[in-house]
Structure 1
């Protein structure tokens, strides 16, 4: 276990130095805690399970990079397998993309959606020979962020796509008005 932990620390330094050499600031490199798991081999006798035998431990550690420099992160993500040539056992995942000004976007979209709903209600009232009265209630539905031009399913709890760089945001508003 001690030797595995020492190897993991050596690999951690190789990974850190690699990321620094690619221009990732040290403050953006986040190493999570080491995960330790027992490795066991199952034993069978005539097809019947009779127990397991301890084989050793497996140690893993994940690293996360947080950055607003999307181009740099995409470049590093494409080249990260270079670490395999340095002897580091490394599994990588594609970048995830987050919209960083979500609170401002929601406020803007709520304003636009409620204005659009009011204009539609006015048109419906006008076309039916009435006038739009007072607002009786307003409810916000789900907020969805999907990949642009994707066929993602909308969900009652909302969707937040992080796999696509280009996104489409939508919000549902329900406004009930009096019609006079």
Structure 2
């Protein structure tokens, strides 16, 4: 009889404990679901402070020695031209020379190849200029066609624009976006007659850089415009708060 009574007591205690644990878990589940998730954004216009500009030039000759000699002459003209525009020698970086043996192919009337005739060596070299004098290099890039008048076949590429203080800008924008998200969360809570509790989670969205007043599309991996001198940076931050 005593043993049976003891078993009944143990079972009763177990039921009480199980009920408490289940009730507590249920309450915590509901409590954890009382969250507010908001997304804040930051936006900043800025001007690039670094420009990278490049161009290429080439020469073709029947002998490799003559082609190299003519390319050396063009390189000297380019250095002289750049120096006259105020570009320092250490800002000009010339690439290794690339050369190709070129042939002209003739065909029979039935379309099969007849023969290949050697037409010469084509040598190509590029020059890369990196400078913080953005406006000056930008203007020179527009005037580089003047080199053609000196007999240099110079092909200018569009300048690329960068910003050297991007890390600092990003930190400022994260703070701005976080402040915006927090303000949104407070507004939602107040309108719902609730108050914000602890911050439960925060995530940073994609950091994007686009040209100012452009129609560039945002991308999942983040866009990074290098074609525009005037840029706009965008960032988003997502916050989740406990609601009390």
TM-score (normalizing by structure 1) = 0.91
Q: How many residues align?
A: 180
Asked if 1:5 corresponds to 2:64, the answer is: no
Match of 1:90 in 2: 154
Secondary structure (helix, strand or coil) at the match of 2:202 reads strand
Match of 1:69 in 2: 133
Does structure 1 conserve the Cα–Cα contact (< 8 Å) formed by 2:210 and 2:223?
Answer: yes
- Residues 14-63 of structure 1: per-residue CA shift (max 9 Å, x gap): 10111011101111111111122332334443454538724333211111
- Residues 96-154 of structure 1: per-residue CA shift (max 9 Å, x gap): 21112111101111111111111111111111121112222211121111110000010
CA distance in structure 1 between the aligned counterparts of 2:228 and 2:66, rounded to whole angstroms:
40
Q: Residues 47 and 15 (structure 1 numbering): CA distance in 2 closer, same or farther, change over 3 Å?
A: farther
Identify the match of residue 147 of structure 1 among 196, 211, 236. Answer: 211
Match of 2:93 in 1: 30
Distance apart, 1:75 and its partner CA: 1.8
CA distance in structure 2 between the aligned counterparts of 1:17 and 1:4, rounded to whole angstroms:
20
Q: Residues 118 and 40 (structure 1 numbering): CA distance in 2 closer, same or farther, change over 3 Å?
A: farther
CA distance in structure 1 between the aligned counterparts of 2:115 and 2:172, rounded to whole angstroms:
59
Asked if 1:127 corresponds to 2:191, the answer is: yes
CA distance in structure 2 between the aligned counterparts of 1:110 and 1:51, rounded to whole angstroms:
67
CA distance in structure 2 between the aligned counterparts of 1:62 and 1:149, rounded to whole angstroms:
32
* RMSD (CA atoms): 1.8
Does structure 2 conserve the Cα–Cα contact (< 8 Å) formed by 1:147 and 1:167?
Answer: yes
Does structure 2 conserve the Cα–Cα contact (< 8 Å) formed by 1:132 and 1:177?
Answer: yes
Q: Residues 40 and 172 (structure 1 numbering): CA distance in 2 closer, same or farther, change over 3 Å?
A: farther
TM-score (normalizing by structure 2) = 0.69
Runs of 4+ in 1 over 4 A off after TM superposition: none
CA distance in structure 2 between the aligned counterparts of 1:49 and 1:127, rounded to whole angstroms:
81
Q: Residues 98 and 52 (structure 1 numbering): CA distance in 2 closer, same or farther, change over 3 Å?
A: farther
Larger relative helix fraction = 2
Q: Which has the higher contact order (CA 8 A, sep 6+)?
A: 2
Structure 1: stretches of 5+ with no match in the other structure: none
Q: Residues 39 and 168 (structure 1 numbering): CA distance in 2 closer, same or farther, change over 3 Å?
A: same
Specify the structure having the higher radius of gyration (Cα): 2
Secondary structure (helix, strand or coil) at the match of 1:75 reads helix
